[in-house]
Chain A
Amino acid sequence: MFDPRIIGVGQSIYTRHPNDEQTIQNLMKDAVLDALKDANLKHQEIDGLAIASFSITPDSAIDIAWRFGLSLNWLLQDTNGGSSAMNMLGHASRAIKTGDANNILILAGDATGLSGYAKIANSYNSATRDHLAPLGHGGPNGVYSLVTSRQMKKYNLKKSDYANLLISQRNWASKNPYAVYKKELTEEEYNSAPLVADPLCRYDCVPVVAGAYAIIISRNENERLERQVRIRAFEQSFNYENQEGDGTATGISTFKDKLFGTAKLAPVDIGVLSIYDDYPAIVLAQLNDLGIIKNGKFRDYLEGMEQQTQAVNTWGGMLSAGQPGGMAGGLNGIGEVVLQLQNRAGERQLNNVNFGIATGYGMTLYRHGGTVAATILEAI
């Protein structure tokens, strides 16, 4: 058995308004080139591909392999939205452990444009198409507006309490050259922003961008790197409560103890967190399920975010850097933890980080997401 290493990360430009050249294939090509260079691998050394994208339709994973000139032993296409990246990481890691492949490229991206995104949002699944879209539910914004209201009620939060999360992520984004929104966000701007779906305002809803992200996981180390990154623990949960809960807890609540138990770590040991951030309420729900927020004290945690002492979504997250599709957004979160663990996060670099968490959350079934996953990554 080999203990796989994440040996390279790469990304394309993220843009709100892609030009004719910024197709999904071109953006993915840029991310792959960047990741190959980072991993110090030749194109021909890739023997496995995992891919997730809404925009490659009508193509499939094998079309991308062909068009990208990749001859492979292992191929996966994932459809789990915001937890696709994590699902692909898990499968790829096991494929390397069993010897099915040596160097797996994990690739995600989207370039649907706003109207394409709206179309996806309205026919995301049959439940949405049949029971929500006819109501003019506004896609995920409508679903998570109701979840956010429940969270506010349950934890006695005001809308303005959420401001620090957005401000903190925006501050991090200002240090991420790829982020689409880098300008400082003030409390006043947040509190007076136009509502999109009450209580969610413009800053609570992820900006859709065109972009792609790639990571490479391998049986070999990248000798150029001073610090290697391995997966210390990995857990997933699918449809854990049949959409019968109120959405303020996630499937992380089913595996939190196992995740930390396997890692032989506690929440306090985690130095950096990439928490899937399609909506602020979902970031908080995951932090609460992970035991990072203690005793349901959401407001205390949010107040602490003002100082940026909590290293959450240090790339700015999708809320500020942009959502290149949820699939690549999840991958960007993993990549950020890898960069932080390897002391390669540039201006965003944290001190003395040895363990990080990345999560994925996705697939809004009817009332909230049905998939969630988390990994603890370790620098060695």
Chain B
Amino acid sequence: MEKLFVQKCSNCNKFTFPKKYFCSECGNTEFDAISINEGKVEEISVIRHMLGQKDWKPRKIANIKTALGIYITAGIEDAAQVGDALYIYSDNGAPIGKLMEEK
């Protein structure tokens, strides 16, 4: 599991994803990479059909509110539902959310 990194503007501290070259808030071009570890499911969808693919197996995607406050779209591979807390990681740059284990 790789970490998922977002950018934090080194001038105004605004977070953003995916990669930007100028900060939309202040125009700064320097960013720090910050890893996102946690988020919460806001909305979820099951992609049941894929154009041009006959043997498609349904997959889930979700809108995740991250602990940093910004939203990302992530793949869901387990039973996570709206409201659940997730671990967030990256699969080759694509964000994936995974249910936090019961403590």
Name B47's contact: one of A114, A118, A138, A244 (CB within 8 Å): A138
Query: In the complex, which residue of chain A has the Cβ closest to the Cβ of B53?
Result: A118
**B52–A142 touching, CB < 8 Å:** no
User: Quick one: CB contact mask for A233-264 with B, threshold 8 Å, 1 for yes?
Assistant: 00000000010100000000000000000000
CB distance from B6 to the nearest CB of A (A): 11
CB distance from A345 to the nearest CB of B (A): 32
Asked if B79 is at the interface (CB within 8 A of a chain A CB), the reply is no
Asked if A42 is at the interface (CB within 8 A of a chain B CB), the reply is no
**A118–B50 touching, CB < 8 Å:** yes
Name B75's contact: one of A135, A150, A200, A366 (CB within 8 Å): A135
Asked if B71 is at the interface (CB within 8 A of a chain A CB), the reply is yes
Name B63's contact: one of A141, A146, A194, A244 (CB within 8 Å): A146
Measured in the bound complex, the distance between the Cα atoms of B75 and A134 in whole Å is 9
**B52–A138 touching, CB < 8 Å:** no
Asked if A117 is at the interface (CB within 8 A of a chain B CB), the reply is yes
Query: In the complex, which residue of chain A has the Cβ closest to the Cβ of B75?
Result: A135
CB distance from B62 to the nearest CB of A (A): 8
**A132–B73 touching, CB < 8 Å:** yes
**B52–A115 touching, CB < 8 Å:** yes
**B75–A117 touching, CB < 8 Å:** no
Asked if B1 is at the interface (CB within 8 A of a chain A CB), the reply is no
Query: In the complex, which residue of chain B has the Cβ closest to the Cβ of A200?
Result: B45
Q: Which of B48, B56, B59, B74 has the most CB of A within 10 A?
A: B48
Contacts of A366 in B (CB 8 A): 18, 73
**B59–A135 touching, CB < 8 Å:** yes
**A145–B45 touching, CB < 8 Å:** yes
Asked if A97 is at the interface (CB within 8 A of a chain B CB), the reply is no
Contacts of B29 in A (CB 8 A): none
Contacts of B46 in A (CB 8 A): 195, 197-198
Identify whether the interface residues of A are mostly helix, strand, loop, or mixed: helix
Contacts of A130 in B (CB 8 A): 18, 93-94
**B52–A117 touching, CB < 8 Å:** yes
**B50–A138 touching, CB < 8 Å:** yes
CB distance from A143 to the nearest CB of B (A): 8
Do A135 and B45 contact each other (CB < 8 Å), given the known contacts A117-B51, A117-B52, A121-B51?
no
**A196–B73 touching, CB < 8 Å:** no
Contacts of B73 in A (CB 8 A): 131-132, 135, 137, 143, 146, 366-367
Asked if B91 is at the interface (CB within 8 A of a chain A CB), the reply is yes
Asked if B61 is at the interface (CB within 8 A of a chain A CB), the reply is yes
| Complex interface residues of chain B between 35 and 60 (CB less than 8 A to chain A) | 42-53, 56, 59
Contacts of B18 in A (CB 8 A): 127, 130-131, 366
**A149–B45 touching, CB < 8 Å:** yes
Query: In the complex, which residue of chain B has the Cβ closest to the Cβ of A199?
Result: B45
Asked if A324 is at the interface (CB within 8 A of a chain B CB), the reply is no
Q: Could you pull out 18 A-B pairs where Cβ atoms are within 8 angstroms?
A: A121-B51, A131-B93, A134-B75, A135-B95, A135-B96, A136-B56, A136-B75, A138-B51, A138-B61, A142-B45, A142-B47, A146-B61, A146-B73, A149-B43, A153-B43, A195-B48, A197-B49, A242-B24
Chain B positions within 8 Å of A, measured between CB atoms, are: 16, 18, 24, 42-53, 56, 59, 61-63, 70-71, 73-75, 91-96
Q: A146-B43, A150-B42, A196-B47 are in contact. List 12 more A-B contacts (CB 8 A).
A: A127-B18, A134-B92, A135-B75, A138-B50, A142-B47, A146-B63, A149-B63, A153-B43, A198-B46, A244-B70, A366-B73, A367-B73
Chain A positions within 8 Å of B, measured between CB atoms, are: 114-115, 117-119, 121, 127, 130-132, 134-139, 141-143, 145-146, 149-150, 153, 194-200, 208, 242, 244, 366-367
